[in-house]
Structure 1
Amino acid sequence: MQRFFLGKWIIVVFLFVACSTNKKNQTTSARPVSAQEAILLNQLIYKTNLRDSVAKYAPEFEVVFLPKAVNGNLAFIAKKKDSNQYALVIRGSMIEFSKAGFQNFILQDFNIFTMKKWAYADSVKDAYISNGTAVGFNNLLELKDDATQLSIKDFIEQKIPTGSSVVITGHSLGGNLAYPLAGYLKKTLPAQQKLNLQLISFGAPAAGNAAFVQDMEEKFPTAERYVMDKDIAPLFPDMDKIAKVSALLGLDKVL
């Protein structure tokens, strides 16, 4: 897994991804959407009218999977027009005084003091994810597309052509949840449909223990993790590192 530290004022990331070919099936694999495209879609997921916002700000994409949120968690799938490139985008925490905000922050972000067994590991043993991550992950599994009533996994299996690329991406809590969702899809999708899964996260807090990280690195050796060099969120729940960054920012002083 590659980790990138972005300077405070740098907002554009250049990412080059090579195309690959599945010779056995003579199917040309689609190049994954770029990090620049992924981060734009991560911004748009907070918009009230998502379809119109994507049409306005990312007109090269169209929304093909759009459910109603489940207990504060939401994800959508966008397809890049005239291509077989897809992005599965997971919403981060809702920063507002609402039921969704409470569920995101209290039941997920800060629900880290107990762990749950990670059931989708390959060869790794004793992999665990935080209880809050498990709550959000299970909510994502319950999402059903309004048009087809298919779950995320069923939609990918039934509606996305073999050979297409699917980037699983999210920011903050969405990035945290991208890891178990990507790992689950990598474990459970049919062989030909999980070949071209990619993982890109932005400012994601830790989702599980070291064994879980190892499992994800084995599943996604080219995954991209982008963080700001003075962002506290990706350090969570490492309190020692948070304290060091807080001191650098002057947040350790009583006002």
Structure 2
Amino acid sequence: MTAEPIASPAALAMTLAAIAATGATPRPSGESLAEQRLRISVGITRQLSDRSLATQGTWELAWLGLSPYNANLAYVARNLHDPNVLAVVVRGTDAEVTDLLEDLDVGTVVPFTTGGSARPLSVSKGVMAAFTEVLGMLDAPPPTGGGLEQALTGLIADAPGQAAVYVIGHSLGGCIATVLALHLHARAWGGPRPEVGVITFAAPTAGLKDFAEHFESVKWTVDLRYANDYDLVPRAWDDLAAARKWYPADHGPVAPADVKDVLIPEFEALTGPNTYVQPGKAQGLNGEYGHYDHDLVKSSTEDFFGQVAHQHANSTYLKLLKAHQLPAGPVVTSVEPATGEAGSTVVVTGRGFGPDSAVDFGTLACPAHLVESDTRITATVPFGTGVVDVRVTTTLGTSPAVPTGQFAYGGPQPVLLTGISPDSGKAGTTVTLTGTGFAEHPVVYFGKRRSDSVTYESPTRITAQAPASGSPRSRTVDVRVLVNGYLSPAGPADEYTYPD
């Protein structure tokens, strides 16, 4: 039997960082912080023991902290082959990229005083709040639970030799990791001092020039920073302007005017008078833009920020670092039938289901369900009203809300556009729309403009003539269908491009 090759330090660290996202979304029907923490703990333990990952099953969970409202998470893992080695892994807010940038509160800087500097260092208010919250998180409710520093003190004392603590994080978790690493490096431990290293991925900078210079002056046992060259987040806040020229025109999506002239300047303005500086130079990844989402290539705001999210994702960094992907969390792809009454039976189709699966219809739990396979669940609809998202939760996470996973109490069926053909052309072009939930007398919009010629052919097919674009330039718009009170959600499948 061939031995599994040893993963690179970067692949191993990124795998630990990606595991921190386990169970980041709370169960829609509600769960206590203790219930969510237990679910996350089981999921992290399951992945740390997975020998197929870059971590090779050689790590164990030693401590886990989750903040109220799911804002931040951190865990400590101990290496089973070398108990002197500890990893402190940080996950920041689980949010969309644009929300993450806005939530950092970079317009205000506050003093960071526990990083070993003779003078206070300037860091963003949002990062300081997250760092403070991480230090205050407990492994379990008092009196049995302890905080991160208490846990590390015990683990370092139990190490047979000099302990090495590696602080790791992706995205906002990486940003917090730089502050946390300085704090741990400067801390008085009351015993043998551990070596401290820091490894970050896709991290925005935490502070101003004084923070960066002090961070670079510290003698770390390891100091590694990785950034996808086409990831917007690690360019915050010193190089956002580069994104105006994204993405390479031979692949796309080229940034549309509203991204270049409005949205990116708005992000840049969030810093106010502050000038942020990254500590050191990151090792670049994906320099030739060889990895991108081929379904997000049109010059539209939706595709641009969809590509931004893809380039920033944990899964993308794992791929770029040649690390195995983590086991997939649950995904719902369809609910059949998509309309009915409480007490009716539906089939939920998707992937990543398991014996521990819980099903929710909106915010209502669905206790009566049967997991038939990892791709199929039969459920009895609970009492409810309106149009709800059907979602599945396991120890690996909660399925995202998707248009194909909706259920309408009492009908009519939700309207969904799954494709258009052709997806480009001039005004007057006849376009065939395919989807579900279509009915007589549909209204079709190309962007904000209504088509004057629409033909309903079946519940899954409509034809419509493209109206004038209303723009002298090439423009990509969403095609949407309004029928029975529903307006189909926008998505990459409905984009139509007018020529110059």
Q: TM-score, normalised by structure 2?
A: 0.40
Partner in structure 2 of residue 232 of structure 1: 232
Alignment CA distance shift 1:208-1:193 (3 Å): farther
Counterpart among 3, 7, 15 of residue 40 in structure 1: 15
Higher strand share: 2
Find the residue that maps to 1:93 and give its secondary structure. Answer: coil
Partner in structure 1 of residue 74 of structure 2: 75
Q: 1:126 deviation in Å?
A: 4.9
The answer to whether structure 1 residue 127 and structure 2 residue 126 are counterparts is: no
Q: 1:149 deviation in Å?
A: 1.6
Is the contact between residue 65 and residue 134 of structure 2 (CA under 8 Å) also seen in structure 1?
no
Structure with bigger gyration radius: 2
Partner in structure 1 of residue 245 of structure 2: 247
Corresponding letter in the other structure for 1:218: S
The answer to whether structure 1 residue 105 and structure 2 residue 100 are counterparts is: yes
Query: For structure 1, which segment, 202-211 or 86-95, has the greater mean C-alpha deviation from structure 2 after superposition?
Result: 86-95
Q: TM-score, normalised by structure 1?
A: 0.76
Is the contact between residue 65 and residue 148 of structure 2 (CA under 8 Å) also seen in structure 1?
no
Partner in structure 2 of residue 190 of structure 1: 189
Q: 1:66 deviation in Å?
A: 1.4
State the structure with bigger RCO (CA 8 A, min sep 6), 1 or 2: 1
The answer to whether structure 1 residue 217 and structure 2 residue 192 are counterparts is: no
Q: 1:253 deviation in Å?
A: 3.0
Corresponding letter in the other structure for 1:253: A
Corresponding letter in the other structure for 1:145: D
Aligned pairs for 1:18-97 (under 5 A) are 34-48=9-23, 49-56=43-50, 57=53, 58=55, 59-71=57-69, 72-83=71-82, 84-95=84-95
Query: For structure 1, which segment, 116-125 or 137-146, has the greater mean C-alpha deviation from structure 2 after superposition?
Result: 116-125
Corresponding letter in the other structure for 2:244: S
Counterpart among 145, 153, 156 of residue 152 in structure 2: 156
Is the contact between residue 144 and residue 152 of structure 1 (CA under 8 Å) also seen in structure 2?
yes
Q: 1:125 deviation in Å?
A: 3.2
| Identical residues among aligned pairs (%) | 23
Q: 1:124 deviation in Å?
A: 4.8
* Cα distance between partner residues in 2 of 1:66 and 1:122: 26
Number of equivalenced pairs? 217
Q: 1:245 deviation in Å?
A: 2.5
* Cα distance between partner residues in 2 of 1:106 and 1:230: 16
Alignment CA distance shift 1:209-1:139 (3 Å): same
Partner in structure 1 of residue 167 of structure 2: 168
* Cα distance between partner residues in 1 of 2:192 and 2:89: 18
Q: 1:121 deviation in Å?
A: 3.9
Instruction: Please list every run of 5 or more consecutive structure 2 residues that lacks an aligned counterpart in the other structure.
Output: 1-6, 24-42, 248-253, 259-299, 301-500
Q: 1:229 deviation in Å?
A: 1.4
* Cα distance between partner residues in 1 of 2:101 and 2:14: 25
- For residues 104-124 of structure 1, the C-alpha deviation after alignment (integer angstroms, 9 at most, x for no partner) is 837843x11000011124345
**What CA RMSD, in Å, does the superposition of the two structures yield over aligned residues?**
2.7
Instruction: Please list every run of 5 or more consecutive structure 1 residues that lacks an aligned counterpart in the other structure.
Output: 1-13, 16-33
Is the contact between residue 128 and residue 212 of structure 1 (CA under 8 Å) also seen in structure 2?
yes
- For residues 177-226 of structure 1, the C-alpha deviation after alignment (integer angstroms, 9 at most, x for no partner) is 00111111111132765441101110100100110111211224541111
* Cα distance between partner residues in 1 of 2:219 and 2:95: 30
Is the contact between residue 125 and residue 211 of structure 1 (CA under 8 Å) also seen in structure 2?
no
Higher helix share: 1
Alignment CA distance shift 1:184-1:123 (3 Å): closer
Is the contact between residue 68 and residue 144 of structure 1 (CA under 8 Å) also seen in structure 2?
yes
